[in-house]
Structure 1
Amino acid sequence: MRESEIVELLRQVATGGAARGLADDAAVWSPPLGRELVLTHDIVAAGVHYLPGDDPSDIAWKLVAVNLSDLAAKGAVPAGVLLGLSLGDEDEAWLRRFAGGLHRVLSDHGTALWGGDTVRSGGQASLGCTAVGHVLPGSALARAGGRDGDLLFVTGTIGDAGLGLAARRGEAPGDAYLERRYRLPMPRLGFGKRLAESGAHAAMDVSDGLLIDAARMAAASGLAAEIDCKAVPLSQAAAARLPAGDTGRLAAARAGDDYEILLAAPAQAEAALRAAAATDALPLTRIGRLRLGAGLCVLGTEGRAIDPGPLGYEH
């Protein structure tokens, strides 16, 4: 398809006023009065973040959802996205499936397509998304807000997406639940909007692995993180696949693509946070704490520090 044909296809998705019908060089949006903007940008690349044979509808979902997950961890309400599509040899059928998935994820999360750009790279596709959201002034959470003594919590379950990727690669038997967790991450936007008012001090989404992201939060906060290995929450599907004990839970905690929210909060905020999570029927698990010092300490099932090995995924 020519660029003009791709724009025409996406024009059916970009129905909000800010997009100007994709007939202009820029979107124009008036943010809600008295709100601060939160902006994030992520790229998903063929062979790195998705497999070449994945459904284009699911690829579009993941492209937008991983950016909305960043907004969720800041407590932001999403407003719109801009796309940068560097395409390889994707044909018209692929692009039509992609546009359908784009419409689905934007509709499901109350977000608009505002515009972007496309190019044929001649290589593998690399798809970028900038997401824009808004928060009350001063309420956007950061990795760096953790305090000594804060408890660490994580939403949902950990390790599902890593196991789903292994299944998609043919390295493990197929499992519809685990594969769906890999293909279609769910940004925790509802819970995210309640984080600051529930007493959280710091938050980030788990993209590269629970351990490495906990270490990043601790470092940004100038503290050490302590993770209780046996507390890492597993789904029934993951528990059935992973070895028992520390080995299995460490594997889950090193896996990426979970897109759950990791947060730090004082003990007195736990009840409010659990109530906020319960509103979305979202599990919330206490997995450790922040303390004075530096680095990451992982406690094994017997309560002693263990060597976690590699902490997670790094490009």
Structure 2
Amino acid sequence: MTNASAPLGEFDRITRYFKPLAAGFPGARGLRDDAAVFGVPPGFELVVTADAMVAGVHFFPDDSPGDIAAKLLRTNLSDLTAMGAEPLAYTLTTALPRDVGEAWLSAFAAGLGEDQARFNIGLAGGDSVSTRGPITLSVTAFGLVPAGRALPRWGGVVGDRLFVSGCIGDAALGLEIAYDRLTLDDAAAREHLLRRLRRPDPRTTLGPRLIGLASGALDVSDGLVADLGHLCEESGCAARLDAASVPLSDAARGVIGDDPTRLALALTGGDDYELLFSAPDRATPALMALAESLGVPITAVGWLEAGVPGTVRALDQRGAPLALLRRGWDHF
């Protein structure tokens, strides 16, 4: 007689929780082989990215499994769309402590399933191991881009205008709330900021439409100032960032007010997963029309300029330099 309370083994876990996620992607071969097999349509190239998340570093150990799954998948989708790619498939590696039970796995798999449907991507395979350390998760995501048209970081030129999608700073302020370093009486604002931390919104509809308009692009993961520095360094130029033009949500604006320290946090805190890109000024009307058609805000926030590559001048509304104690997140 089978013990109904006995924990599932590795292959039973795969069968119950992960095979259903692979059912819609033929290249996964039902997770019955050692590897996935799939081709690239004529005229396209494969874009590949990988991101890992570790409990206590990228998420709180007591975050809901659904939120963890969403953030894991969406951060990788953000990398794809920053290069103009449409999502295709992903592989998943889970390293879980033995005390992570089926309730956690079920909710995690359900979160992945919801986002697979939302973003039109399928599970192609992966690996499942145990660990004595914290929960560690990794996704390798695959996307398709027209051959030779992938958006680079290094395409910006002096005189290009700088744009960002959505709003900046919500996740950084949400992290302050999660650490109990910021208290808000406005429950709706508090929930908005925490939700943006836990479930970023990759701009998958926007990225592919920037091909032919943007000259250089990347997503904002390490912080707006830091990532702008990355774009500038690769493009061999400097940048002027007009802080007063950086788009803020109502919740973030209410928290920041006139506090320059909180504004600096919003500009450098990271985890926004919005798109940051350069484009010739003549592309501005087309970009504004695109923003309206997609329902994705796009805001001009500065210019690329001559200077030491990687240098970013963040200026306040009077044109004075902002005091920034750091540029953004760095793992090391």
Candidates 2, 20, 43, aligned match of 2:9: 2
Matched, 1:273 2:282: no
Report what 2:234 is aligned to: 220
Describe how 1:47-196 pairs up with structure 2 within 5 A. Answer: 47-88=56-97, 89-173=99-183, 175-196=190-211
Matched, 1:259 2:273: yes
**Alpha-carbon contact 1:26-1:115 (below 8 Å) kept:** yes
Deviations 1:156-180 (A, max 9, x none): 1011011112222333236111111
The CA distance in 2 between the partners of 1:293 and 1:171, in whole Å, is 37
Name the larger-Rg structure: 2
Q: Kindly, what percent of the aligned residue pairs are identical? A: 43
Secondary structure class of the residue paired with 1:189? coil
1:218 maps to a residue whose letter is C
Deviations 1:237-266 (A, max 9, x none): 011112416433222111111000000001
**Alpha-carbon contact 1:81-1:115 (below 8 Å) kept:** yes
Pair 166,246 (structure 1): closer, same or farther in 2 beyond 3 Å: closer
Matched, 1:39 2:54: no
The CA distance in 1 between the partners of 2:163 and 2:260, in whole Å, is 19
Instruction: Kindly state the Cα deviation for residue 83 of structure 1 after the two structures are TM-superposed.
Output: 0.7
The CA distance in 2 between the partners of 1:265 and 1:286, in whole Å, is 10
2:56 maps to a residue whose letter is G
Report what 2:318 is aligned to: 302
Instruction: Kindly state the Cα deviation for residue 181 of structure 1 after the two structures are TM-superposed.
Output: 0.6
The CA distance in 2 between the partners of 1:142 and 1:4, in whole Å, is 40
Candidates 14, 20, 23, aligned match of 2:22: 14
Deviations 1:49-102 (A, max 9, x none): 110110101111111100000011101011000011111232111111100001
5+ residue gaps in structure 2? 1-7
The CA distance in 2 between the partners of 1:98 and 1:82, in whole Å, is 15
Stretches of 4+ aligned residues off by more than 3 angstroms:
245-248
5+ residue gaps in structure 1? none
Secondary structure class of the residue paired with 2:209? coil
The CA distance in 2 between the partners of 1:115 and 1:195, in whole Å, is 30
Secondary structure class of the residue paired with 2:94? strand
**Alpha-carbon contact 1:229-1:250 (below 8 Å) kept:** no
1:123 maps to a residue whose letter is G
Deviations 1:194-230 (A, max 9, x none): 0013x11000000010000001100010100111111
Pair 70,308 (structure 1): closer, same or farther in 2 beyond 3 Å: same
Q: TM-score when scaled to structure 1? A: 0.97
Secondary structure class of the residue paired with 2:253? helix
Candidates 239, 247, 250, aligned match of 2:264: 250
**Alpha-carbon contact 1:245-1:301 (below 8 Å) kept:** no
Say what the alpha-carbon RMSD is for the aligned residues: 1.2
Q: TM-score when scaled to structure 2? A: 0.92
Secondary structure class of the residue paired with 1:244? coil
Report what 2:4 is aligned to: none
1:313 maps to a residue whose letter is W
Matched, 1:30 2:44: no
Pair 71,54 (structure 1): closer, same or farther in 2 beyond 3 Å: same
The CA distance in 2 between the partners of 1:191 and 1:40, in whole Å, is 18
1:184 maps to a residue whose letter is R
1:207 maps to a residue whose letter is S
